[in-house]
Structure 1
Amino acid sequence: MKLAEAINVTPSPRQLAWQQLGFYGFIHFGMNTMTDREWGDGTEDPALFAPTGLDEAAADRAVAAMQAAHMRGLILTCKHHDGFCLWPTKTTTHSVAASPWQNGHGDVVRLFADACARHQMQFGVYLSPWDRNAAVYGQGKAYDDLYVAQLTELLSNYGPLFEIWLDGANGEGPNGKHQVYDWDRYYQVMRTLQPNAVIAVSGPDVRWIGNEAGHIRPSEWSVVPAALREAERVAALSQQSDDAAFSRQFKSTDDDLGSRDALADYDGPLVWYPAEVDTSIRPGWFFHEAQDTQVRSGEALFDLYCKAVGGNAALLLNVPLDRCGRFGAADQAALVAVGQKIIQLTDTDVSGAAVVAATSAVAPFAITGGASEAPAATMGDAGETLALQSAWEAAPDDATPTVTLTWAQPVCVNTLILREAISRGQRVEAFSVMALQADGWHALTRATTIGNCRILRFEEVETTALKITFTGFRAAPTLAEVRVARLEGVEARV
């Protein structure tokens, strides 16, 4: 039975470590920044690359701004489709080494890799397989050799990477150059040189959510048909034109990838293939001064965070650098604003340990319920984290597993954060939440999947207890974390 197989599919160690990050940043920067384009054609003069304000201090400021947003990693576009390399590669003259920036001795990748190391931020790289400058593009192995050489440079010289991002875009069209990428060869190089890095989008570890608008499914499953790993490797499904509107379009991809119904007639293998939401703080991916008034606000970013990270996906938010090598003023303000919101939901120092951490931003509470229940424990000061046991798990014969949070005095809450112990798989299919009031229990909210994280926002309620009842599951439900909060200005998002 396919469901029995799904129960036993779990993340690899690299996937599990990646999922703890939750929220990290993209920096699109390069020749397109200088030419005010989204897609360059590869004929640009390297002399155009002259970010006068980009140096070690500027890189530190950019990384610090992303940390202020509560991001835990950064991915840099080391080479976009125009083929211009932001490091002094030996594979082409179309790079920073041929530019006037730092007299041809600069290395943008080094600047950001080192800045991330100084700030204890994870670092990742984006290397576009599509290269509009390379003369050997479209010649099969000759281009694969060049691409592997570039990969080898990036993966060997800039320290540990947490993610390697492979863009699926290919806009050559029917009359353009036809290059069949040797993905398996690329993956082998990545696994050899950076075994702990996940390979994303056109890769086997992390799945594209299916759009660049920040839209997510109401029920996001990490256990999906293995065939989805091939989807972004097919050029016909990739972005085909230089169109900034692509980042705001919804795709016609299936809304149901892993439910019982979706798997009912599927007879192939299943894999752990979690989703990543990639979107930009601006309509385009590269910096365009004309879009300065179209920057997403901190409130909009927080809503996106709650839907993406709180919907069992990672959030990769692009914040482009301007021609000087700095973030725009509106972008920086939005990063600070979203960080202030997120800090209310989660500690800045999050351990990867699978423990039930019951934390209240409003008052101490006790947690009870479950086969592996620890003695009821009262929380200490607000914000303190209490480890009850390695993970809560319902009794295997419990038809209606329930976890109850209780307070000694009434409290006001409007946000609930849940995490499954995903090292044991994704099991929860449906659950409801009720609040205890003077006249009894009242329905508060309900949802389907949890996975790595589910954030539920609801109308503020004063209560002395919350009850989480699991109404659908594939195996005994687990919880790695339960957290409640009262956030100012939070609207119900059921």
Structure 2
Amino acid sequence: MNMKDIANIRPSRRQYGWQKLEFYGFIHFGITTMTGREWGLGHEELSLFNPRQLDAAEWVKLLQEAGMKAVILTCKHHDGFCLWPSRYTEHTVANTPWRNGSGDLVKEVAEACREQGLKFGVYLSPWDRTESSYGEGKAYDDFYVQQLTELLTNYGEIGCVWLDGANGEGPSGKKQYYDWDRYYETVRRLQPQCVISVCGPDIRWVGNEAGHTRKEEWSVVPRIVQDAEKIAEKSQHADDGEFSRSFNSMDEDLGSRSAIAGYDGEWVWYPAEVNTSIRPGWFYHEEEDSQVRSDRELFEIYLNAVGGNTTFLLNIPPDKDGIIAEPDREVLRRLGKRIAALGEANLAQQAAFTVSSSEYNAYAVKWLAGEHSEACWKPVQEDLEPWVELAFSEQIEWNTIILQEHILLGQRVEAFEIWSADPGGWQKLAEGTVIGYKKIIRVPQTSSTHLKLVFKEFREFPTLAQIRILNIQNDA
């Protein structure tokens, strides 16, 4: 593919809608919570599951207060225990003391999300250490699709199906080779607007669980990356002659011009998700109460993730009683205040006037400080170093700028500079590479009357959907 074709690769509406959520929560909870393990062994004693103080509405409220816009529930982890009364196994909440066997946690969380205005997603582990048909090929795929169908038809709108590639041996000693295409077809047929994440075609894993983001996070990547998490052994594959190099989700460079030159296959829109846990583990462990990440650390991850062209999935594990522990709750409250500060009054709206290097689409420049997500500014194609300038009638104090490309036209910006002017003249404050859906740039405290964004490198032509200028207090 040539550079023009790559510049015009665009997200689907479902991908675009999910990226706009920006920040959402994972809830790891189940029989494993009761046993204190991270990965259950299967066939756990069901009488152990009886979270007496569980309140799904409170879970959702806490996550919403932290700034999250969706919740993904581990409906079934690798141990095979189902948080809903599945018709296809006895290893479910229906055979536990909780709610006297009449409970359905998937339903409770789904309803709480709907009532509080959050999207709801499901995690259904393909690996099942309790199910006897695991490792038997189609028989297990039939079982998995039956459970997937239950989740996609009984709980209203599902925003995301989150799949991982964990894969072990079944009771017979055989490994199960998942029929991913059949799983995807089931999701697309039953929930057409639902994204399929990680081991799926819509949202990819960033490549680690520590909250690390790349310096350059491209949403347009080689199609082969879509298969990276589905392949049990992802390294040392023989070159089949179709590609000049191989890629996987852990490569540092997935989309630069250098990467493009080294790959002669197809390119796709496949944006990244950063996922990590508020604690060292994914399930609750009392001994980790003193190891909860601080709101400052999580805010840094948020800025680097959401402000680095990815989404951010943060895991919050309730305890054995179904309560989100107090250390986690306090951190979530403080994190929510920090994130809310990013939505404060946009100083760009105070600009006396806004100009650009190009008269083409000049009327759109005034939209940049607003919330018009479907509008954008772009220069004429012949403009080799386009820029946008904001001028203020008096000096403003600021330390943060947020930029957004109009990604419905593709991801195009490869390098940019930010300049600031006061009565003493112009100075360059910052420079960067990609922007994508969102770029959050922090600069030293600055007082200026003019601010200019200069596009230095780009594919075909750059676009700009929004500029936000903020003065955030560091002790938020």
Give the TM-score, by structure 2 length: 0.93
Matches for 1:372-391 after TM superposition, within 5 Å: 372-374=361-363, 385=370, 390-391=375-376
Deviations 1:118-146 (A, max 9, x none): 00110000000011111110000010000
- Tell me the CA shift for residue 285 of structure 1: 0.3
Residue of structure 1 equivalent to 2:292: 295
Instruction: Determine if contact 1:301/1:338 at 8 Å carries over to the other structure.
Output: yes
Go from structure 1 to structure 2 and tell me whether the alpha carbon gap of 1:317 and 1:434 turns closer, same or farther (over 3 Å shift): same
Instruction: Determine if contact 2:371/2:466 at 8 Å carries over to the other structure.
Output: no
**SS of 1:322's equivalent?**
coil
Go from structure 1 to structure 2 and tell me whether the alpha carbon gap of 1:276 and 1:387 turns closer, same or farther (over 3 Å shift): closer
- Tell me the CA shift for residue 367 of structure 1: 2.6
Matches for 1:147-166 after TM superposition, within 5 Å: 147-166=144-163
Instruction: Determine if contact 2:14/2:193 at 8 Å carries over to the other structure.
Output: yes
Residue of structure 2 equivalent to 1:448: 433
Counterpart residue type for residue 112 of structure 1: V
Identity of aligned residues (%): 50
Residue of structure 2 equivalent to 1:414: 399
Residue of structure 2 equivalent to 1:368: 355
- Tell me the CA shift for residue 176 of structure 1: 4.7
Go from structure 1 to structure 2 and tell me whether the alpha carbon gap of 1:3 and 1:377 turns closer, same or farther (over 3 Å shift): closer
Instruction: Determine if contact 1:5/1:270 at 8 Å carries over to the other structure.
Output: no
Residue of structure 2 equivalent to 1:219: 216
Instruction: Determine if contact 2:413/2:457 at 8 Å carries over to the other structure.
Output: yes
User: Is 1:123 aligned with 2:108?
Assistant: no
User: Is 1:402 aligned with 2:387?
Assistant: yes
User: Is 1:344 aligned with 2:341?
Assistant: yes
Counterpart residue type for residue 321 of structure 2: C
Counterpart residue type for residue 151 of structure 1: L
Residue of structure 1 equivalent to 2:346: 359
Matches for 1:83-102 after TM superposition, within 5 Å: 83-102=80-99
- Tell me the CA shift for residue 490 of structure 1: 7.6
Partners of 2:364 and 2:269 lie apart in 1 by 34
Counterpart residue type for residue 135 of structure 2: G
Instruction: Determine if contact 2:228/2:249 at 8 Å carries over to the other structure.
Output: no
Structure 1 alignment gaps of length 5 or more: 239-250, 348-357
Deviations 1:205-228 (A, max 9, x none): 111000000001000000000000
Partners of 1:362 and 1:468 lie apart in 2 by 16
Instruction: Determine if contact 2:57/2:112 at 8 Å carries over to the other structure.
Output: yes
Counterpart residue type for residue 17 of structure 2: A
**How many residues were matched structurally?**
461
Counterpart residue type for residue 397 of structure 1: E
Residue of structure 2 equivalent to 1:48: 48
Residue of structure 2 equivalent to 1:244: none
Partners of 1:307 and 1:462 lie apart in 2 by 24
User: Is 1:329 aligned with 2:318?
Assistant: no
Go from structure 1 to structure 2 and tell me whether the alpha carbon gap of 1:216 and 1:378 turns closer, same or farther (over 3 Å shift): closer
Go from structure 1 to structure 2 and tell me whether the alpha carbon gap of 1:142 and 1:474 turns closer, same or farther (over 3 Å shift): same
Counterpart residue type for residue 271 of structure 1: V
User: Is 1:260 aligned with 2:273?
Assistant: no
- Tell me the CA shift for residue 333 of structure 1: 1.1
Counterpart residue type for residue 362 of structure 2: E
Instruction: Determine if contact 2:351/2:390 at 8 Å carries over to the other structure.
Output: no
**SS of 1:77's equivalent?**
strand
Partners of 1:316 and 1:61 lie apart in 2 by 19
Deviations 1:132-173 (A, max 9, x none): 111110000010000000000000000111110001122449
- Tell me the CA shift for residue 346 of structure 1: 2.6
Go from structure 1 to structure 2 and tell me whether the alpha carbon gap of 1:394 and 1:66 turns closer, same or farther (over 3 Å shift): same
Deviations 1:22-63 (A, max 9, x none): 111100000111111100000211111110111xxx111111
Residue of structure 1 equivalent to 2:239: none
User: Is 1:433 aligned with 2:382?
Assistant: no
User: Is 1:486 aligned with 2:471?
Assistant: yes
Counterpart residue type for residue 484 of structure 1: I
Instruction: Determine if contact 2:195/2:202 at 8 Å carries over to the other structure.
Output: yes
Go from structure 1 to structure 2 and tell me whether the alpha carbon gap of 1:479 and 1:99 turns closer, same or farther (over 3 Å shift): same
**SS of 2:346's equivalent?**
strand
Go from structure 1 to structure 2 and tell me whether the alpha carbon gap of 1:339 and 1:363 turns closer, same or farther (over 3 Å shift): farther
Partners of 1:378 and 1:274 lie apart in 2 by 26
Alignment root-mean-square deviation, CA = 2.2
Partners of 2:292 and 2:354 lie apart in 1 by 41
Structure 2 alignment gaps of length 5 or more: 236-247
Partners of 2:165 and 2:116 lie apart in 1 by 30
Matches for 1:453-492 after TM superposition, within 5 Å: 453-489=438-474
Instruction: Determine if contact 2:367/2:375 at 8 Å carries over to the other structure.
Output: no
Residue of structure 1 equivalent to 2:5: 5
Go from structure 1 to structure 2 and tell me whether the alpha carbon gap of 1:66 and 1:361 turns closer, same or farther (over 3 Å shift): farther
- Tell me the CA shift for residue 411 of structure 1: 1.0
The match for 2:183 among 186, 206, 219 is: 186
Go from structure 1 to structure 2 and tell me whether the alpha carbon gap of 1:378 and 1:95 turns closer, same or farther (over 3 Å shift): closer
Counterpart residue type for residue 286 of structure 1: F
Counterpart residue type for residue 294 of structure 1: Q
Partners of 1:269 and 1:262 lie apart in 2 by 12
Partners of 2:374 and 2:162 lie apart in 1 by 36
Partners of 1:388 and 1:375 lie apart in 2 by 12
Partners of 1:22 and 1:321 lie apart in 2 by 23
Instruction: Determine if contact 1:374/1:388 at 8 Å carries over to the other structure.
Output: no
- Tell me the CA shift for residue 448 of structure 1: 0.4
**SS of 1:276's equivalent?**
strand
Deviations 1:413-437 (A, max 9, x none): 1101011000000000000101112
Go from structure 1 to structure 2 and tell me whether the alpha carbon gap of 1:471 and 1:344 turns closer, same or farther (over 3 Å shift): same
Partners of 1:490 and 1:223 lie apart in 2 by 36
Matches for 1:274-285 after TM superposition, within 5 Å: 274-285=271-282
Counterpart residue type for residue 93 of structure 1: E
**SS of 1:392's equivalent?**
coil
Partners of 1:376 and 1:205 lie apart in 2 by 31
- Tell me the CA shift for residue 377 of structure 1: 5.5
Deviations 1:282-330 (A, max 9, x none): 1110011111111111111111110000000000110111111111111
Instruction: Determine if contact 2:205/2:249 at 8 Å carries over to the other structure.
Output: no
Give the TM-score, by structure 1 length: 0.89
